[in-house]
Amino acid sequence: MTKYYIMMIFATALLAVEFSLQKLYQKRCGTSPRAGLTFNAISGLVSGLIFFAANGFRLDAPLFAVLMALIMSFCLVGYTLLGFRVMKAGNMALYTMFLMTGGMAVPYVWGLAFLDETFSVLRMLGLFVMIAAIVLSNLADKRTNLKILLLCCIIFFLNGGCSVSSKLSQTPNPYGVVSPTVFACLTGLIRFVLCSITLLFTKKSDDQAQQTVPFLKVFPLIVCAAIVNGTFFVLELLGAVHLPATVLYPIVSGGSIIFSTFAARVLFHEKPTLHQKIGVALCFLGTCLFL
């Protein structure tokens, strides 16, 4: 069991790398809807093809798994597009806080309510500690207005939907369980199709017209993000097989908040406020309460 905990810690570090690559892309291409959709379409296609090859160029999955992959793709594309807007007006730490806490709290409650997972006073306390960390981290941030907070709340629940659908895809059910590589392939290809169709009906904004970057300069960045995301996703799905939702997602969420805050400080010189430093410390404490 210890190896799965170590695997999840490594996965959280990869997630921080992915957030950093998204931030670099956003700096070069802007935060327009087309920029976000293009990023998702290409990264989805790359990860889908990689895992299609890893599965021996076969794609056999029950309808239930396809439905879960479809739900997850909708949620993932949604929170990524909103995240681009949040990172433009706020900062990466704010986006990560809401994203990862939603990915923890929603499946935690879902696991207790529908998967008959064991209730723990310490884990419930850890949940409240991490929610308090979000509130505290943003109390003194002047960039955090009502609109940004609303977007962050939507991101909170969208990533929660991602976590629940990925967990359900790996939970024994009458419809059959799909392998992690097949599910990762399905999610990537569906994401590519959804974003490509949406791009056809999305007009080029003035912001994007002013910020044109040669495609070949950002393509390697998107490919790297796709590889990192795909590796994280498979590790998370493997964890979902062996760890309960009430343990898995708090570890991923708390760890990624800590790693992402560190990455934002080192790579983008986003100096955390005193409130944010205390918030990260509370996230670490809350994560420990789940172990």
122-169 pLDDT, tens digit per residue, is 888 887 887 787 677 666 556 667 788 888 889 999 999 998 998 888
Please give the C-alpha separations between residue 202 and each of 121, 207, 216, 237, 283, in angstroms, as whole numbers: 48, 14, 22, 33, 38
Q: What's the burial of 201, exposed, middle or buried (CB within 10 Å: 0-12/13-18/19+)?
A: exposed
pLDDT, tens digit, 9 for 90 and up, residues 208-228? 544 556 777 788 889 999 999
Q: What span, in angstroms and rounded, lies between the C-alpha atoms of 244 and 239?
A: 8
| Backbone Cα Rg of the chain | 18
Given this model, what pLDDT does residue 139 score? 60
Closest C-alpha to 83, from 192, 14, 162: 162
Domain residue limits at 279: 2-290
Question: For the chain, how many structural domains are there in total?
Answer: 1
pLDDT, tens only, 107-123: 888 888 887 888 888 88
Whether residue 173 is predicted with pLDDT greater than 80 in this model: the reply is no
Burial 254-263 (b: 16+ CB within 10 A, else e): bbbbbbbbeb
- Percentage of the chain exceeding pLDDT 70: 90
Share of the chain above pLDDT 90, in %: 16
- Output the pLDDT for position 205: 61
Q: What is the rounded average pLDDT of the residues 82-105?
A: 74
> CA distances (Å), 247 to each of 4, 43, 274, 290, in order?
11, 29, 29, 6
pLDDT score for 142 = 60
Model pLDDT, residue 47: 92
Cα–Cα distances in Å, from 233 out to 45, 122, 238? Answer: 15, 27, 9
Pair of tokens at residue 29: 């291409």
Q: So what's the pLDDT on residue 166? A: 86
According to the model, what pLDDT value does residue 210 have? 47
Q: What is the mean pLDDT of the chain?
A: 82
